[in-house]
Amino acid sequence: MNMDTEDYIDLLSARAADARAMIMFFAVIHTGLLVVLGFAGSGLEDSGIQLALAAVTVLTSLWTVFFMDDCMQDLFAIAKDLPEDFQASNVGRRFTDVPIPVFRVVNFVVIALIVVAEVLAIY
């Protein structure tokens, strides 16, 4: 299959939209959890509730880490596949010069710290 620039741009747009949707999902889930933690009171003393909240926190966060990591890898791979004139542009150079492993590690660390804080608050 021979892809033209427009195909790559469509892929970039789709994967960027996927990443934004996942960030929104993560924010809504964890904001909801913070509301529950703030207003649940004695309801959080039940070990079943604690386990359910911890499971949701950990599993949705793992899902987010894997999904965002995949999106980042796709975005950078697609950008590197764009034509030479794009790669020579300022935006293209930013994509090719970005140390993707740093972004991947930071993504994991930030989400892990959020999960640790939430699990500590649950228990």
Would you write out the chain's pLDDT as a tens digit for each of its 123 residues? 677 778 888 998 999 999 999 999 999 999 999 999 888 877 788 889 899 999 999 999 999 999 999 999 998 888 878 888 888 889 888 877 888 889 899 999 999 999 999 999 998
Distance CA 62, CA 3 (A): 33
Alpha helices in the chain (DSSP H): 5-39, 47-81, 84-88, 90-97, 100-122
The whole-number pLDDT of residue 118 equals 94
Q: Please report, for the chain, the start and end positions of each structural domain, with discontinuous segments joined by +.
A: 5-122
Distance CA 109, CA 43 (A): 30
The whole-number pLDDT of residue 117 equals 95
Distance CA 27, CA 90 (A): 31
- Give pTM, 2 decimals: 0.81
For the chain, report the end-to-end CA distance as a whole number of angstroms.
Answer: 53
